[in-house]
Chains A and B, each alone.
Chain A
């Protein structure tokens, strides 16, 4: 069982985000592994383990040859990675990203399953997994909160507005997993040391045959205006001195909801 996991290396979400002059996200700080992706990595490791063989390969698109987030996932136990790092990819949109990652899946070869998060924590378009599946010509089982593999099939519980659906398809297939699908492991010291020497295959968009389909030009969209949202009127804040509940009651009474 060979599993490919899409991972994104993103600016630390605890630091307020900023845009560059060209309206791309400021990615100058050292990126980290998107926490949303740690669930897919853990899921992949567990599935390969349960299958009794095979390996987990990471694929990632990141500027400046960034590998710090990849090393975290390699330290968790992934075997190797493909990293697309290329100036030409700056400004790439969701469809362009899906094209790059689908080509990476083909470059890795022999994948039974591709796992991705439902959306990244910095861009949160939420379309890349299904776009990749369409490019690969595969079924996409999206928004999975439980994943099982048996007899060449993958069965998931797919999150819905009202509960969940049980959805099944044959492999190879792509599955997007929600946060919380499994509890991600912490890398061990041994894992961290081993990760340093694991292979990272660094390629460009041209190597993947995607010249002209990535970057701002491929995105075919322009940003016509950027402005700060009007701040919400600051409200009142009180230390609870035993009258907190009374203050809430008065507030609700004033709105005539009680």
Chain B
């Protein structure tokens, strides 16, 4: 027996729905007979077409009122949940997704389950799977609280598959008073310049860590190798915190989750924080001076050596192949 109705909190960049949202819609189809999306932001019609294709029949559109979408949406979702009675509301473990689930949990007085990577329903009972200790231990949880259950899932936990559906019907709920939560206004939006494939979508990802030695080494070692392989470049938290590269490049628990065909870790020790974001890559190559570094525990090919010697030779060898 599946659930009756599941909502997915949808997110979009501009008019493009995020892949992680489509992954949740795909899973929602499997566990519920009715799937609907709730969304705060612009381009509602474009969003409705995309969420509809992935199985949502209705898009509940909310005016974000110039605030942070997740925080404004929570007030509206709380009101709607009382009348519409969804069994569960799924969120992406993203910045806005966490804001929305957090405020909603207080408004509805429900616990949250976060960092999920599996969901199943058996006899109407929802089971949620997560991983702790950097993925070393798997934990299944069930909730004894009343519906709606509030659940956040990490990106890349499920494959996004189109259901071939038409556009979802848009129900406009307009501006709902979010109280002081709505007082925080977004004044400006900055996007880091980006060339080549996106980090989350690239077939090949090359990431650098503290072991590259200096900020100046990032471009020749990490960025250039990634470009040569037509891949994307990323970073560990250590060098993001150190200010060597922007936050948008961070792979890990607090950054992006990637699952490329090949992940190349250069000078990354493999702290739990980093492993959570990349250990499900198909193939992992690691180059690090310290042979005892935990990254070698997940690497398919490990080279214990100096990135300053190995990477230039690697670039030359690849260039020679044309």
Contacts and interface: CB of A to CB of B under 8 A. Distances in A.
B179 A137 contact: yes
Contacts of B101: 127
A140 B248 contact: no
A106 B179 CA distance: 19
B158 to A, nearest CB: 18
Given A248-B285, A248-B301, A162 B183 contact: no
B111 A219 contact: yes
B183 A139 contact: yes
Nearest to B315: A245
Given A222-B141, A255-B261, A236 B314 contact: no
Given A245-B314, A251-B301, A252-B262, A223 B141 contact: yes
Contact of B139 (A133, A143, A223): A223
Given A126-B98, A130-B71, A237-B302, A93 B111 contact: yes
Interface stretch (B40-48, B80-88, B209-217, B292-300): B292-300
A130 B98 CA distance: 8
B204 A257 contact: yes
Interface residues of A, number: 80
Contact of B247 (A164, A223, A229, A245): A164
Interface stretch (B24-32, B49-57, B169-177, B237-245): B237-245
Given A139-B184, A244-B303, A255-B261, A161 B95 contact: yes
A34 to B, nearest CB: 12
Interface string B185-215: 1111111101000000001100000000000
A127 B310 contact: no
Contacts of A137: 179-180
A130 B101 CA distance: 9
B297 to A, nearest CB: 8
A221 B116 CA distance: 14
A42 interface: no
Interface stretch (A49-57, A61-69, A173-181, A185-193): A173-181
A133 B110 CA distance: 16
Report, as a range, how many residues of chain B touch the other chain. 35 or more
A228 B272 contact: no
Contacts of B145: 220-221
B293 to A, nearest CB: 10
A108 interface: no
A133 B103 CA distance: 8
B13 A240 contact: no
Interface in A130-153: 130-131, 133-135, 137-143, 145
Interface stretch (A12-20, A71-79, A82-90): A12-20
Contacts of B160: none
Contacts of B132: 17, 19
Contacts of A139: 71, 180-184
B185 A235 contact: no
Contacts of A247: 301, 303
Contacts of A125: 112, 114-115
23 contacts: A98-B102, A124-B254, A127-B102, A131-B102, A131-B105, A134-B102, A158-B95, A160-B95, A160-B189, A161-B94, A165-B68, A167-B185, A173-B184, A180-B241, A220-B145, A222-B141, A223-B139, A229-B138, A232-B298, A245-B316, A249-B321, A255-B262, A258-B321
Interface of B: 13, 18, 68, 71, 74, 93-95, 98-99, 101-103, 105-107, 109-115, 127, 131-133, 135-145, 152, 179-192, 194, 203-204, 229, 237, 240-243, 246-248, 253-254, 256, 261-262, 264, 272-273, 279, 283-285, 287, 291, 296-306, 309-311, 313-314, 316-318, 321
